[in-house]
Structure 1
C-alpha cells in the first residue's frame, strides 16, 4: 500500500471517529443524562452543568483529531518519521492527560455537589483510565518516531 492510499484510509477512519464522537457527545450523552435525571430527580438540577461539562471535555479530543489530521498529512508526503510528527504526538499526549485530569476533577466536583450518582462516577474513572492508556501510547509513539527521525537524519547525512 502506498503512502497516499494509506493516508486516504487513515483520513477516512479519523473522519469516522470524529463523526461518531459528535453523535456520542451531542446526542447520546444528553439522552443518557435525561434518563438518569428522570430516574433520580434529586440530581435533576445538575443536568445542564453536566452537559456543559461533558461538552467542554470534547474540546481537547477535537484538538487531538486536528493534530492527527496533520500527522496523516505528513504520512501522505512520505514523511512518517519526522520531528514534527513526534511533536504532534507529544501534543496529543499532553492534551489527553489534561482532558483526563479535567474529567476526573469535574466528576469529583459533581459528586461533591450531589449532581451525580456512583455509577456515573465509576464510568468516568474507567474513561479516565482509557484516556491515560491512549496518552501513554501516544507518548511511546512520539518517542519511537523521534528516534526513527534521528536515525533517518543520520543515514541521510552519511550518504
Structure 2
C-alpha cells in the first residue's frame, strides 16, 4: 500500500467518522432525548442540561478529526515522521484526555444531582476509560514519531 492510498483511505475513514458524528450528535441524541421526555415527562428538567453537555463533547471530537486530516495529508505528502506530526499526536492525546475527564466529571455531577442513573454513570466510566486509552496510545505514538523524526533527520544529514 502506497502512502498516497493510505492517506486517501485515512481521509475516507475520517469523513465517515465525521458523518457518523453528525448523525449521532445532530440527530440521534436530540431525537432520543425528546423521545425520553415524551415517555418520562417527570425527567424533562434533565433534557436541556444533558443535551448541552453531550453536544459540547462534539467540539473536541471534531477537533481530533481535523488534526487526523492534517496527519493524513502529511502522510500522503511523504512527511509521516515529522516534529509537526508528533505535536499533532500530542494534541490528540490532550484532547482525548480532556474529553474523557469532562465526561467523567460531568456525569459524576449529574449523578450527584440525581439527573443520571447509575448505569449511565458506569457506561460513561467505560467510555472515559476508552478515551484515556486513546490518550495514552496517542501520547506513545507522539513520542515514537518524534524519535523517528530525529532519526530521519540524522539520516538525511549523513547522506
TM-score higher than 0.5: yes
List structure 1 runs of 4+ shifted beyond 3 angstroms: 34-42
Query: Equivalent residue for 1:105?
Result: 105
Deviation string, structure 1 residues 104-131 (Cα, Å, up to 9, x no partner): 1111111122111112111111110111
Alignment of 1:10-25 (within 5 A): 10-25=10-25
Displacement of 1:43: 2.8
RMSD: 1.4
Query: Equivalent residue for 2:117?
Result: 117
TM-score (structure 1 length as normaliser): 0.93
Q: Which runs of 5+ in 1 are unaligned?
A: none
Q: Which runs of 5+ in 2 are unaligned?
A: none
* 1:54 lines up with 2:54 in the alignment: yes
Distance, in Å, in 1 between the alignment partners of 2:85 and 2:98 is 20
Deviation string, structure 1 residues 34-79 (Cα, Å, up to 9, x no partner): 4444554443211111011100011011111111111011101100
Change (3 A) 1:118 1:31: farther
TM-score (structure 2 length as normaliser): 0.93
- The aligned length equals 159
Change (3 A) 1:86 1:73: same
Distance, in Å, in 1 between the alignment partners of 2:24 and 2:38 is 20
